């Protein structure tokens, strides 16, 4: 009894001191205060949950560490989110020997942080974080890129927003201490801390793509592609004061958005016409540039810019044309197209490896990812396979080892592993850049779109 009581007080102390790590400021969920993992949870997992988890290859239930490590498919629980944890989903949707009291016990333990006997929360010190916008669920999934597991969820309803908030894109500080997310359905850009607490809110009509300046003085904001007639302006948010200024770019539906590595120029492009704009961030001078294309017969509809780390080359895919346009940025106010690759399949939001050599380009209507050699200006490979279902956003781990691709799966062509899950749940596919093979498929919430992590330094 003394051991249980002392563990309880130690856990409470850690919880109060470590609330910031969880992003929750409330106390323990009711009924969870005296839960001790090794005495109350582990025996239940080994006795009654084991049959429900028989398909989770690689999962071992012999310790807290092996449970948290999950299976070869991904995590089986998400700390502080029992509702979206596989353990609870299986327990509540399958016949089992579990009683409602036992399910409530495990649910309370997960909602309190899935702590071990010493009160430690899984992945509290995770440093390599990836943020995934689940546009159809009003939820952001947080992935640890070391373990390649979903380790947290940020439910926007906890901050007073609706389920239809539509988180769309993410920009992350270089040290990971804060991050931004655009909320289409709330006409808002949110600033959150590393601990997933809201630290700022900026009103902006139908925000879309985000780009943080390298010195982190400003955040640039485009418009969502779901808005048919948004203002012909992009936003510039002061990162410290969160004051916003809107700059007219003179064409409709400015969507694609990127900032050069030196922070001196910003580029945006129209979804409605074959035009783009260059912005001098010092003078706020705008140059509007025509993108070659035969009017309606060859409308590009540029989705998202990506710039090489040396600032010399920029790429953008055209949803309608299927072309990947490669620009030379020698004259940054007048980008020049040096190559056009027809990839087909609606190239979406690309990612470039830290060495600047390869671009990974999701092909939304082809359920594949094209790999483009930027130096040779050729398509060098194609990635296909299980989990790729309407690929959308992409991001590279800062060390270049993995590329992550979100998959909207709105057509339901990907079937979740367990029938109790939403059949249109989205995925994040993990591609090993050394082999260009899919090494993991993580299931997330509905319609994952934008994705972001710290920039490579």
Query: Using one digit for the tens of pLDDT, what is the confidence trace for 157-207?
Result: 999 999 999 999 999 999 999 999 999 999 999 999 999 999 999 999 999
Q: Which residues does residue 365 pair with via DSSP β-bridges, in sequence order? A: none
- For 263, residues 6+ apart whose C-beta sits below 8 A from its C-beta are 213, 214, 215, 217, 281
Residue 3's pLDDT is what? 30
Residue 187's pLDDT is what? 98
Separation CA 122–CA 117 (nearest Å) = 12
**Contact in structure between 221 and 208 (CB atoms under 8 Å):** yes
Residue 33's pLDDT is what? 64
Residue 30's pLDDT is what? 57
Displacement of CA 325 from its chain's centroid (Å): 25
Say how many C-beta atoms besides its own lie within 10 A of residue 30's C-beta.
9
Separation CA 206–CA 192 (nearest Å) = 19
Domains of the chain, CATH where assigned: 2-111 (no CATH), 130-453 (2.130.10.10)
C-alpha to C-alpha distances, 416 to 74, 147, 441, 451, nearest whole angstrom: 12, 21, 10, 21
Separation CA 226–CA 228 (nearest Å) = 6
**Contact in structure between 109 and 80 (CB atoms under 8 Å):** no
> Euclidean distance between the first and final Cα of the chain, in Å?
51
Alpha carbon dihedral 314, 394, 144, 34, in 10-degree steps, equals 140
Residue 295's pLDDT is what? 46
Residue 74 DSSP one-character state: B
Residue 315's pLDDT is what? 98
Separation CA 393–CA 448 (nearest Å) = 8
C-alpha to C-alpha distances, 402 to 9, 354, 394, 397, 434, nearest whole angstrom: 41, 11, 11, 6, 8
Separation CA 272–CA 54 (nearest Å) = 51
Residue 31's pLDDT is what? 53
Structure tokens at 267: 């580029």
Displacement of CA 278 from its chain's centroid (Å): 27
With CA atoms as reference, report the closest residue to 319 among 385, 375, 412, 255.
255
- Residue 382 three-state SS: strand
C-alpha to C-alpha distances, 233 to 182, 187, 191, 211, 220, nearest whole angstrom: 16, 14, 21, 15, 11
**Contact in structure between 151 and 126 (CB atoms under 8 Å):** yes
CA neighbours within 13 Å on the CB side: how many for 220? Answer: 28
Mean pLDDT by 10 residues, the chain (457 residues): 31 35 43 84 96 94 98 97 96 88 96 96 96 97 98 98 97 97 98 98 98 98 92 98 98 97 98 96 97 69 97 97 97 97 97 98 98 97 97 97 97 86 88 98 97 90
């Amino acid at each position: 009894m003394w051991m249980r009581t002392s563990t309880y007080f130690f856990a409470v102390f850690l919880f109060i001191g470590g609330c910031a790590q969880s992003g929750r400021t409330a106390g323990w969920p009711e009924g969870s205060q005296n839960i001790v993992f090794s005495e109350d949870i582990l025996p239940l997992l080994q006795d009654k949950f084991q049959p429900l988890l028989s398909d989770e290859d690689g999962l071992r239930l012999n310790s807290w560490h092996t449970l948290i490590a999950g299976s070869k498919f991904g995590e089986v629980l998400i700390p502080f989110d029992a509702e979206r944890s596989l353990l609870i989903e299986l327990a509540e949707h399958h016949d089992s020997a579990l009683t409602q009291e036992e399910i409530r016990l495990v649910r309370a333990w997960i909602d309190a942080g899935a702590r071990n006997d010493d009160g430690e929360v899984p992945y509290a010190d995770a440093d390599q974080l990836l943020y995934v916008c689940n546009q159809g669920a009003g939820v952001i999934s947080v992935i640890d890129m070391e373990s390649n597991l979903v380790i947290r969820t940020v439910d926007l309803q906890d901050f007073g927003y609706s389920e239809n908030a539509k988180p769309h894109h993410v920009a992350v500080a270089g040290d990971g201490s804060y991050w931004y997310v655009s909320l289409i359905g709330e006409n808002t850009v949110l600033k959150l801390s590393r601990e997933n607490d809201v630290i700022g809110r900026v009103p902006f009509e139908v925000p879309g793509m985000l780009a943080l300046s390298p010195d982190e003085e400003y955040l640039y904001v485009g418009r969502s592609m779901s808005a048919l007639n948004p203002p012909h302006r992009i936003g510039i948010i002061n990162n410290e004061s969160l004051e916003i200024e809107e700059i007219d770019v003179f064409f409709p539906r400015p969507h694609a958005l990127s900032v050069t590595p030196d922070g001196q120029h910003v580029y945006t492009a129209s979804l409605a016409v074959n035009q783009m704009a260059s912005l001098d961030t010092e003078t706020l001078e705008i140059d509007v540039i025509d993108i070659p294309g035969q009017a309606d017969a060859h409308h590009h509809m540029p989705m998202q810019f990506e710039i090489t780390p040396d600032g010399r080359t920029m790429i953008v895919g055209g949803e309608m044309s299927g072309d990947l346009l490669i620009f030379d940025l020698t004259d940054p106010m007048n980008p020049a197209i040096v190559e056009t690759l027809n990839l087909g399949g609606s190239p979406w939001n690309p990612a470039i490896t830290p060495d600047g050599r390869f671009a990974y380009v999701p092909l939304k209507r082809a359920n594949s990812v094209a790999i483009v050699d930027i130096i040779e200006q050729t398509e060098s490979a194609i990635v296909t396979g299980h989990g790729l279902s309407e690929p959308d956003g992409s991001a590279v781990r800062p060390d270049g080892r993995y590329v992550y691709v979100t998959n909207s799966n709105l057509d339901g062509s990907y079937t979740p592993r367990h029938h109790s899950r939403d059949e249109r749940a989205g995925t994040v596919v993990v591609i090993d850049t050394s082999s260009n093979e899919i090494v993991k498929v993580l299931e997330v919430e509905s319609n994952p779109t934008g994705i972001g992590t710290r920039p490579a330094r």
